[in-house]
Amino acid sequence: MPISVEEVFETASMILHQNLDIRTTTMGINLKDCIHSDFKVFTENVYEKILKNAQRLLKEAAKLELKYGVPIVNKRISITPVSLIMETHCEREKFIEMARTLDRAGRNAGIDFIGGFGALVHKGLTASDKTLIESLPDVFAETERVCSFLNVGTNTAGLNLDAINLIGNMLKETASKTKDAIGCAKFVVFANAPEDNPFMAGAFHGVGEPDMSLNIGISGPGVVRGVVEKNKDCDLTQLSEIIKRTVFKITRSGELIGRELAKNLEIPFGIVDISLAPTTASGDSVANIIEAFGIESIGAHGTTAALALLMDAVKKGGAMASGNVGGLSGTFIPVSEDTGMIEAVKRGALNLNKLEALTAVCSVGMDMFAIPGDTPAETINAIIADELSIGIINNKTTAVRVIPVPGKKAGDSVDFGGLLGEAPVMMVNPYSSENFLKRGGRMPAPVTSMRN
């Protein structure tokens, strides 16, 4: 398809004025071939494999940034879920040492984050899974780049309450051991976690993936907001078409760069994740897109309908542009990383109940929100169970990244700095679900799991 001069200028304008970028290039690396009975040799194998490949990723990504003039903001690594490769070294101190090894490799290579220090526990927990969860507070306290996930539910397995019941206390311990509870921002709990997600903190290299792969995460909230604001008088059908065409153009740029980068690295190209991922930069807010639709503040009645339209248009536009759309693809609505979301919470327009309702139509889930540090662990677990049950019943990925901040109460705020932004501390329902959670077990899969 020929590219016109007008399209070149249009793309340049998106980059210069509307924050269009490749949000992340994430190289997935299989570490199963690094396993060795001697743990020292095992960690050396892991270090060398990550360092060598991460350095190649940075070198080739820098070349493409110069060639096309499109910023590639983050360069990241995702790895085989660590609990799977640590089965024969199932000791807490060894998990912590493996995390230190990963962190050292990432630091020396110059990458941003390493994802995959996690486990797939949707149907039960192994000894390795349990040890990994127990080690996480120390892992986050002693590392900078290591990110962790748990997948605790799927449409076909149901929801593992026994696994969820381990998370609340782990998060509270993590919060107490890391400044401003920042360690909690590097942990996400999923239902229906995709194996090819390029975004942190939930990225991991799934067992169904090749030895290595390259996944691209693109973003352009500012671009979408710009076209919405220019078309104030069109109806919703027309607005959807405009957004679809815009996302098509954004996705094509990600597809182009992703394929060329994978070719230069001589590894398979995985997917383009078309999620609109906000940042704290001016004009880079998903909440502001919703407000440009005609909603006075995100969180007002009508927000869910507007977000549903946006999600649908984004997915349709991306699907037209690429046969390799995957990952989480849709729209992120993190609280602390989106200036519009932050302001909506501060003005009282957005609360936890409405945030949970919005996740019924958007990707990911309840992301990067802060709650009082004295919130009981059982309440944290109940928030997680509520959100993930939406994913189980509605056949979609949902996730929770919750931050209980010690010493903070509802109405306070905590500033994480950088891309993680500022989190207003949100009020939590004071009534208990402890006796419900004590039942434990596994919530059965819905009848839709019997599709076969």
| pLDDT, tens only, 9-35 | 455 555 544 556 778 889 999 999 999
pLDDT digits (tens, 9 = 90+) for 142-159: 999 999 999 999 998 999
pLDDT digits (tens, 9 = 90+) for 178-191: 999 999 999 999 99
Domain ranges of the chain: 22-191, 219-436
Rg (alpha carbons) of the chain, rounded to whole number: 21
Distance of CA 437 to the CA centre of its chain: 26
pLDDT attached to residue 9? 45
Distance CA 95, CA 398 (A): 27
Average pLDDT taken over every residue of the chain? 89
Nearest to 258 by CA among 48, 29, 72: 72
Q: Following DSSP, what letter does each residue of 420-442 receive, concatenated? A: G-EEEBPP---S--HHHHHT-SE
CATH class given for the domain over 219-436: alpha beta
**Which residues, 6+ apart, have CB-to-CB distance to 447 below 8 Å?**
none
Distance of CA 59 to the CA centre of its chain: 25
CATH 3.30.110.30, domain 22-191, yes or no: no
Q: Kindly provide the residue ranges of all beta strands, DSSP E only, lying in 287-425, ordered along the sequence.
A: 365-372, 398-405, 413-415, 422-424
The DSSP letter of residue 201 is: T
| pLDDT: which is higher, 403 or 283 | 403
pLDDT digits (tens, 9 = 90+) for 249-307: 888 878 888 888 999 999 999 988 888 878 777 777 889 999 999 999 999 999 999 99
Label residue 33 left, alpha or beta by phi (over 0 means left) and psi (-120 to 50 means alpha). Answer: alpha
Cβ density class 124-152: b for 16+ within 10 Å, e for less: ebbebbbbbbebbbbbbebbebbbbbbbb
Residues in the chain: 452
pLDDT tier for residue 427 given thresholds of 50, 70 and 90 = very high
Distance CA 112, CA 376 (A): 32
| pLDDT: which is higher, 223 or 30 | 30
Cβ proximity of 314 and 330 under 8 Å = yes
Percent of the chain with pLDDT over 90: 62
Strands 187-191 and 146-151: parallel
Q: Distances in Å between the alpha carbon of 202 and those of 149, 328, 392?
A: 5, 10, 18
Nearest to 397 by CA among 316, 445, 327, 308: 327
Same fold? 22-191, 219-436: yes
